[in-house]
Amino acid sequence: MSDINAQVRAVFRNILNDIRVELGGEFDENFEREAFFSKAWERRKSPTRPGGHILVDSGDLRRSIKSRVTGNSITFYSELPYAAIHNEGGEIVVTERMKRFFWYKYYSTTGSFGRKKNGTLRNDKRNRQLGTEADFWKAMALMKEGDTIKIPKRQFLGRSPEVEAAVREIIEKNLGEYINNIDFNIR
């Protein structure tokens, strides 16, 4: 009897590990799709990084997704403090420290303008982009302390019909393999 229990535990461990690997890949792929499976993320309103992937600036958020198997469950998580606000959406309150950061970004952007030999600004695509970006940072810096910034929900982890279908498929595959490999030697 203990042999059967050991086999069942081994099948259960394989199921959990397969689910962890499969869903880990799918959750990572959400960053490529710029969607939570088939539900597209809201586009950016800010002019910073035009054409860049949503939620991928340094890649830290994408790389921060971890998983662990404990007992009979799997947990996917990120330890980054801003992961939850991006995954669930919400509002953040503007603080004095944030305003200082926005001013820093404004001044560092305006210092990047290309200039002609006589010192005037060049009228090229890069300068026009920097001007739009500088205007964005200035508007953010001029917000009043206590104002709120709405962060749209851009879910990359969680439950969905696609997750449930993948879990069901993995369970059926593993149980099917286990049943097909049972040796029915009845005497």
Domains in the chain, number: 2
The proportion of the chain whose per-residue pLDDT surpasses 70, expressed as a percent, equals: 83
Answer whether 177's CB lies under 8 Å from 52's CB.
no
137, 162: one domain: no
* 66, two tokens: 């971890």
User: Mean pLDDT throughout 59-68?
Assistant: 88
Contacts of 43 (CB under 8 A, 6+ apart): 54
Question: 119-157, pLDDT tens digit by residue?
Answer: 776 777 766 666 777 888 888 999 999 999 998 898 989
| Domain assignment present for 187 | yes
- At residue 113, does pLDDT exceed 90? no
Residues 76 and 26 in one domain: yes
pLDDT above 80 for 162: yes
Cα gap 160→87, rounded to integer Å: 13
Considering the domain architecture, whether residues 145 and 161 belong to the same structural domain is answered as: no
Residue 172 scores a pLDDT above 60: yes
Angle between helices 161-180 and 2-33 (to 10 degrees): 150
Q: Which whole number is the average pLDDT over 78-88?
A: 91
Predicted confidence (pLDDT) at residue 1 exceeds the cutoff of 60: no
Residues 19 and 74 in one domain: yes
Q: How far is 113 from 131, CA to CA, in rounded Å?
A: 8
Range of the domain at 40: 1-46+59-89+156-187
178 pLDDT tier (thresholds 50, 70, 90): confident
Looking at the structure, tell me whether residues 83 and 1 fall in a common domain: yes
Q: Are 105 and 81 in contact (CB under 8 A)?
A: no
**Predicted TM-score (pTM) of this structure:** 0.71
